[in-house]
Amino acid sequence: MLKNLKRQFQWLIDKYSKEYLIATVMITLSYGIAVAPPWFAGFIADRIIADELTITSLLVYVAMLLVLTALYYVTGFLWSYYLIKAFDVSELVARQKTIKKILNQNAPFFLTHSTGSLMGKSTNDVSSIGEMASFGIMLLFDATLYQISIICIMAISGSWLLTLLTVLPYPLLILSSKLIGKKLYHEYDLAQQAFDEMNDRVLENVQGVRVVRAFVLEEQEMETFEGRADQLYRQNLKVARLDALFVPASRFVQGTSFVIAMILGANLVKTGAITIGQLMTHVFYLGMLSWPMIAMGEFINTSQSGSASMERIQEIWDWREEISDPPDAIICEEIGDITFDRFSFSWPGEKKPILEDISFTVKQGMTLGVVGRVGSGKTALLKQILRFYPQEGDLTSTVQDCALPAPAERLRLNDLPIRLYDRRSIRRRIGYVPQESTLFSLTVLENILLGADLNREGWPLSEEEQTSEQAFWKKSYREIVKTVEGRKNKKGEPLPIPQETLDRAIATADFEKDIEFLPEGLDTLTGEQGIALSGGQKQRISIARALLANPEVLILDDCLSAVDAITEKNVLAALARERAGKTTLVSSHRLSAIRDADLIIVLENGCIVARGTHEELMAAGGWYREQYEKQQLEETTLWRKEVRS
């Protein structure tokens, strides 16, 4: 078990080795001091019985005990300080590694890991690791080094035979702890899984609270939640029952040892093999062994919980990224022309392609419109430029067809295969507005400023930055609080971008008219997932965020579906002015949103069935013309109704 724990926590041992060494030395000295007072008590008792104790010698012994007490306090403070600090350091390092791994993952990772599971691993499991790194280490020393120290001094200061017989029941405690520990590991893992399931349900209900209320599903969801909570309760109860077995087992062993010590010790005193003072010392030491025996059970509990949590988190750390940049990845300085050449794509885990034999080129500065029925592959096509999913060039199992370009060359930026570029450098040059607008629990202004072209090279943290962060949290408590409070008190900081840049982005997204209706203007909190805003407002905030950095390429994925026709026209007209000479890719179910595009492609079942300008597609007839005329008729009918009303 200890070898497995060392292997699992080697990452922390390497980071915190100096502090652990200091704690080990201090705790060893502390144990050496702790076993001295009982010996002194027995020694003084024998001197009293033999009528050999004087006031002078008694004062000397008392002074020595006072010095030992002071040393015990100093060593105890030092080892407890460093071990308790290990809790914070381990949590910091574990959370840094976990969030770095999560943020560097690609879309397939999130298809297999639910949000609730990731939250549980980042909170409960990390805390369990912290418990093992601090309290668990103390328990390990108490259950082994402290216990061995007491037993050794018992044998040296008294009778080795009495010591041997009184510790005979100990193997029973070790055996029972091992059996309980194995079962505890399994039950704790199930408890954490139950917590993940409950967490998932809570998140879904919070995010979908409007749907729950609209369909009057409150009672049904409450019953479902109660079922999940009850399952978690019953699983935690199983863990608690197993944990509760440790103390009775240790008490039984300790009681048995006391009985043996009293019976055998009395006979040894009668025969003169040991003195009354030595028997008294032996009994004191047996009393001191009560905590190490309890600590053994507590260590089994803490170590099994920590090991199970470490295994769950290690699953994230060891997850192989489906997309990885080549060692000599090119930094994208310019996206240029975007070329799809016989490109096909399947969702991860699916065999049927969602895009098949796609070929077209978007010249730099062009506007591309992508239309088609629901499920035709519009979103899948636009996401390929962002490299969210593994493509043909990333898959080693791709069969090479001599009649087609090499898999890596079927999607090119600036005439180079996209997989040769550093992914982050590509994304820095793209503004992306997805179908579902994602807002954070910040103010409207802070959500927009997320799109500012700031120092994005600051992520992921370098090794030097991570070391600096860890060193910060190793400072004294007062220094940490002073620094954090200083950061909080900074108010009235200037915007990280020029005011006119912010105003232009807001105006282009046609969000100016909404600001005056918000309670606090741009400082209004959006709430969880932007729940305090309408769908159209969320979409336009997302558009302003994407425009803020003036990206070389702007991708709008059906992001005007929740706005009215007038607002849509205002946004499209502003985009045409602001994006003149820049590449823009737009998908929309409203054909009026892409009618002015330089190239329009029509998708059906993942294939391009028509392409051209709006005039060319109207002349060719087919689905595009039929859909456009239908939408125009609907808009005309709606306009007439509004005029009449």
Residue 242's closest CA among 300, 287, 163, 281? 300
Pick 554 or 639 by higher pLDDT. Answer: 554
Helix (H) or strand (E) run with residue 426 in it: helix 423-427
Rounded mean pLDDT of 552-568?
Answer: 87
Which residues in 46-69 are b (16+ Cβ under 10 Å) and which e?
bbeeeeebeeeeeeebeeeeeebe
Q: Is the pLDDT of residue 456 over 60?
A: no
| 642 pLDDT tier (thresholds 50, 70, 90) | low
User: Phi-psi region for residue 232, left (φ > 0), alpha (ψ -120 to 50) or beta?
Assistant: alpha
For 325, residues 6+ apart whose C-beta sits below 8 A from its C-beta are 421, 422, 423
What φ, ψ does residue 448 adopt, rounded to 5°?
A: -70, -40
Q: What is the mean pLDDT of the chain?
A: 84
Helix (H) or strand (E) run with residue 430 in it: strand 430-433
Supply the DSSP string of 161-181, one letter for each residue.
HHHHHHTTTHHHHHHHHHHHH
Q: Tell me how crowded residue 104 is: count the other CB atoms within 10 A of its CB.
A: 16
Pick 21 or 275 by higher pLDDT. Answer: 21
- pLDDT value at residue 288: 84
What φ, ψ does residue 594 adopt, rounded to 5°?
A: -125, 10
E strand segments, 489-636: 553-557, 583-587, 599-604, 607-612
| 1 pLDDT tier (thresholds 50, 70, 90) | low
Rounded distance between C-alpha atoms, residue 490 and residue 483, angstroms: 11
Supply the DSSP string of 37-104, one letter for each residue.
HHHHHHHHHHHHHTT---HHHHHHHHHHHHHHHHHHHHHHHHHHHHHHHHHHHHHHHHHHHHHHHHHT
Report in angstroms the alpha-carbon separations of 272 from 51, 260, 269, 275, 276. 18, 18, 5, 7, 9
Distance of CA 301 to the CA centre of its chain: 24
Rounded distance between C-alpha atoms, residue 536 and residue 556, angstroms: 14
Q: Tell me how crowded residue 160 is: count the other CB atoms within 10 A of its CB.
A: 10
> Token pair of 87, please?
């809790």
Rounded distance between C-alpha atoms, residue 378 and residue 387, angstroms: 15
CA angle 86, 87, 91 (to 5 degrees): 110
Write down all domains in the chain, each with its CATH number in brackets. Answer: 7-317 (1.20.1560.10), 332-429+552-645 (3.40.50.300), 440-453+495-549 (3.40.50.300)
Pick 93 or 400 by higher pLDDT. Answer: 93
Q: Give me the long-range contacts of 274-279 (CB less than 8 A, separation at least 24).
A: 274/158, 274/159, 274/162, 275/42, 275/46, 275/49, 276/45, 276/46, 276/49, 277/41, 277/42, 277/43, 277/44, 277/45, 277/46, 277/47, 277/49, 278/42, 278/46, 278/157, 278/158, 278/159, 279/42, 279/158
Q: How many helices and strands in the chain, by DSSP H and E? A: 28, 10
Q: State the amino acid at position 519 in one-letter form.
A: P
Q: Is the pLDDT of residue 403 over 70?
A: no
Q: Is the pTM of this model over 0.85?
A: no
N-to-C CA span, the chain: 78
Order of strands across the sheet with 355-362? 355-362, 338-345, 411-413, 416-417
Span 500-543, pLDDT tens digits: 889 999 999 999 888 888 888 888 888 777 777 888 899 999 99
- pLDDT value at residue 290: 78
Helix (H) or strand (E) run with residue 413 in it: strand 411-413
Q: Is the pLDDT of residue 198 over 80?
A: yes
| 493 pLDDT tier (thresholds 50, 70, 90) | low
| 380 pLDDT tier (thresholds 50, 70, 90) | very high
Helix (H, G, I), strand (E, B) or coil at 247: helix
Rounded distance between C-alpha atoms, residue 538 and residue 550, angstroms: 20
CA angle 448, 450, 454 (to 5 degrees): 125
> Token pair of 297, please?
């059970």
CA angle 396, 398, 402 (to 5 degrees): 125
> Token pair of 486, please?
């200083």
For 482, residues 6+ apart whose C-beta sits below 8 A from its C-beta are none
Rounded distance between C-alpha atoms, residue 16 and residue 7, angstroms: 15
Say which DSSP state 428 is in.
Answer: T
Span 322-369, pLDDT tens digits: 788 888 889 998 999 999 998 999 888 788 889 999 999 999 999 999
Span 200-246, pLDDT tens digits: 888 778 777 778 888 888 888 888 888 888 888 988 898 888 878 77
Helix (H, G, I), strand (E, B) or coil at 599: strand
- pLDDT value at residue 86: 87
Orientation of helix 246-271 relative to helix 218-244, angle to 10°: 10
Span 118-176, pLDDT tens digits: 888 888 889 889 889 988 999 899 888 888 888 888 888 878 888 888 888 877 777 77
Residue with the two structure tokens 């927009």: 448
